[in-house]
Amino acid sequence: MTNPILLEAIGVEKYYDKFAALGGVDLKVRANTVHSVIGPNGAGKTTLFHMLTGTKKVSGGRIVFDGHDVTHEPDHRRVQRGMARSFQVTSLFLSLPVRENLRLAAQGIAPTKALNCWHEPIGPRSCVDTVERVLEKLGLESFALAPAGNLSHGQQRRLELGMALAAHPKAIFLDEPTSGMGIDDLDDMKRLIKSLRDEHTVVLIEHNMDIVMDISDTVTVMQQGRVLAEGLPHEIRNDDRVRAAYLGNMITGGKG
């Protein structure tokens, strides 16, 4: 049976003066899948993420998430509906322990609790079950008490993804999660993202084509603010329009 649609963009537009960063994008993301969005620089991928997650306002079109029209809802409201996002640049509390980063993320999903600095984080406020579950998922149990700033770059990227997981999201939006990683960290992150579809839906922007083709259920290719092609990884790999657009020998395993 085909998974139900969790997220849908319908004719989404974003204009900056007369420049169309998005020229009417249609997108359907099915629940419990990894859906990758790829394309050359300037194709509109990150702008689309801003529209979907509410960090910027759309110029036109509609966005529906989990049956709700969220087109004009702010980003914090979408978080409460079950959207979580990680960014290209890590945004951790580097001086705080790994465990505390995750606790703050888990506590932050409820605005009344997020900045509750008058009570110690004990009992329910410790979010201990969530923190332990995410630590295990990330494979960072042995670093729980270490400052986040002591982690390697790859471990920090995993922790940032874990902070998104701590919010118990239905959908996780990952923007270049493997950027700057070495080969060992790449494999760890790839396994982690692939495992998320059991409980979550993943929308991914990624430049590493080997990872995209290996872990994605669906790939959407963007060019100049529009959808150029969409399909299964092997369909995209063999699509002449995609090859001509930007991938060339990169998608066939070469470098570029």
Q: For 52-80, write each residue's pLDDT tens digit.
A: 999 999 999 999 999 999 999 999 899 88
pLDDT score of 41: 86
Q: Which of 25, 63, 64 is nearest to 44 (CA)?
A: 25
Beta carbons within 8 Å of 94's beta carbon, 6+ residues apart: 147, 148, 149
How far apart are the C-alpha atoms of 16 and 164, rounded to whole Å?
A: 29
pLDDT score of 86: 79
Q: For 9-30, write each residue's pLDDT tens digit.
A: 999 999 999 999 999 999 999 9
pLDDT score of 249: 45
The token pair that represents 192 in the structure block: 């982690």
Say yes or no to pLDDT of 251 above 90: no
Give all strands of the β-sheet with 34-38 in edge-to-edge order: 83-86, 171-175, 201-205, 34-38, 218-223, 226-231
Beta carbons within 8 Å of 126's beta carbon, 6+ residues apart: 103
pTM: 0.86
How far apart are the C-alpha atoms of 225 and 47, rounded to whole Å?
A: 9
Say yes or no to pLDDT of 118 above 60: no
Stronger pLDDT, 224 or 86, i.e. the higher one: 224
Q: How far apart are the first and last CA of the chain?
A: 38
Stronger pLDDT, 149 or 90, i.e. the higher one: 149
The token pair that represents 132 in the structure block: 């332990």
3-state secondary structure of 130: helix
How far apart are the C-alpha atoms of 22 and 45, rounded to whole Å?
A: 9
Under 8 Å between Cβ of 65 and 6: yes
DSSP lists the bridge partners of residue 86 as 174
Judging by beta carbons within 10 Å of its beta carbon (0-12, 13-18, 19+), is residue 144 exposed, middle or buried? middle
Domains annotated on the chain, with CATH = 1-82+171-256 (3.40.50.300), 89-168 (no CATH)
pLDDT score of 114: 44
Q: For 31-53, write each residue's pLDDT tens digit.
A: 999 999 999 888 999 999 999 99
The token pair that represents 77 in the structure block: 């409201």
Under 8 Å between Cβ of 127 and 107: yes
Say yes or no to pLDDT of 194 above 90: yes
